[in-house]
């Protein structure tokens, strides 16, 4: 499979714990995006990278969220001190032109 | 005001009819517009994009853009039960190329009844 790969697909954690999601984009794509989606809403932009450079981070994103893309390949999204409001589907996407989404990582914070 | 607004639905359309989905956007400088389809429990997938005023057709799908009214629509002809999904309108904010950041609406849930 040469699509966008995300793992873990599901994560259940207790409030206050840290979680990390990984995204492996399509290999030739230099842009990588993280979105968050809650039930009944469209994907909400979080951040994006061009190669290893993080070009933008949403103002809605608190300091508990951090994303990296070392060497411009895979990316990680870490959420520190999780809160129940962080429960959502975290979607990764990559592109050169058309945006391709991964299957998402679903986070449940108890 | 949200950047991209859609009626959440559900929109129920009989099989074989035309489904019409609408979207408005707030920033007049936006240049690129997209329609994504999202099946329940799945990720969004691109159906069509449109950059110029007017209509763009692809098979059973037609996207319509009216920049003066800040309005984008998607028509689905000969609707099939497999078209039942949530349809997301998305826009490039001004200053971003079409191959970069896009902002999504909340989606319209479409149900095709046999």
Residue-level pLDDT at B91:
94
Q: Per the CB < 8 Å rule, is B99 touching A31?
A: yes
Residue of B52, B90, B85 whose CA lies nearest to B76: B85
Can you give the pLDDT at residue B97? 79
Between residues A36 and A2, the one the model is more confident about = A36
DSSP chain B: --SEE-----EEEETTS-EEEEEEES-TT---EEEEEE-TTS--EEEEEE-SSEEEEETTEEEEEETTTTEEEEEESS--GGG-EEEEEEEPPTTS-TTS--EE---EEEEEE-
User: In chain A, what residues touch B90 (CB-CB under 8 Å)?
Assistant: 42
Cβ separation B107–A48 shorter than 8 A: no
pLDDT at site A62: 86
HSE of B87, CA atoms in CB hemisphere, 13 A: 28
Q: Are the beta carbons of A40 and B106 separated by less than 8 Å? A: yes
Looking at residue A108, what is its pLDDT? 98
Asked whether the beta carbons of residue B102 and residue A99 sit closer than 8 angstroms, the reply is: yes
pLDDT at A1: 52
How many CB atoms lie under 10 A from the CB of residue B38? 20
Give residue B14's pLDDT band: very low, low, confident or very high (50, 70, 90).
very high
Residue B111 pLDDT more than 80? yes
CA-CA distance, B67 to B51, in Å (whole number)?
Answer: 10
For residue B49, list chain A residues with Cβ-Cβ distance below 8 A. 98
Distance from CA of A99 to the nearest CA of B (A): 7
Kindly state the average pLDDT of the residues B87-96: 92
**Mean pLDDT, rounded, for B73-82:** 98
Query: Any CB–CB contact under 8 A between A101 and chain B?
Result: yes
CB-based contact B99 A44, cutoff 8 Å:
no
Q: Give residue B10's pLDDT.
A: 94
Higher pLDDT among residues B86 and A1, named by residue: B86
Q: Which tens digit of pLDDT belongs to each residue from A41-96?
A: 999 999 999 999 999 999 878 899 999 999 889 999 999 999 999 999 999 999 98
Q: What is the pLDDT of residue A71?
A: 87
The residue-averaged pLDDT of B2-29 equals 95
DSSP character string of A83-101: -GGG-EEEEEEEESSS-EE
Counting one residue from A and one from B, how many pairs have CB atoms under 8 Å apart? 45
Q: Which residues of A touch B42 (CB under 8 A)?
A: 103
**What is the CB neighbour count within 10 angstroms for residue B106?**
18
Task: Give pLDDT tens digits for B52-65.
Answer: 999 999 999 999 99
pLDDT of residue B99: 75
When the pLDDT of each residue in chain B is averaged and rounded to a whole number, the result is 94
Give A103's contacts in chain B (Cβ within 8 Å).
Answer: 42-43
């Amino acid at each position: 499979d040469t699509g966008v790969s995300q793992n873990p697909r599901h994560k259940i954690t207790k409030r206050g714990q840290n979680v990390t999601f990984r995204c492996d984009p399509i290999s030739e794509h230099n842009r990588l995006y993280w979105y968050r989606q809650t039930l009944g809403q469209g994907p909400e932009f979080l951040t994006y990278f061009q190669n290893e450079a993080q070009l933008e981070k949403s103002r809605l994103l608190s300091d508990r969220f951090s994303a990296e893309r070392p060497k411009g390949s895979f990316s990680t999204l870490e959420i520190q001190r999780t809160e129940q409001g962080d429960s959502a589907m975290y979607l990764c996407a990559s592109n050169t032109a058309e945006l391709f989404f991964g299957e998402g990582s679903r986070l449940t914070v108890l | 005001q949200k950047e991209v607004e859609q009626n959440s639905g559900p929109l129920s359309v009989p099989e074989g009819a035309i489904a019409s989905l609408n979207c408005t956007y707030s920033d007049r400088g936006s240049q690129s517009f997209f329609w994504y389809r999202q099946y329940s429990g799945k990720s969004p997938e691109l159906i069509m994009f449109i950059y110029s005023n007017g209509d763009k057709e692809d098979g059973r799908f037609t996207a319509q853009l009216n920049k003066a009214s800040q309005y984008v629509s998607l028509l689905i002809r000969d609707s099939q039960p497999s078209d039942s999904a949530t349809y997301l309108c998305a826009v490039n904010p001004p200053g971003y190329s079409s191959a970069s950041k896009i902002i999504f609406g909340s989606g319209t849930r479409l149900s095709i009844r046999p």
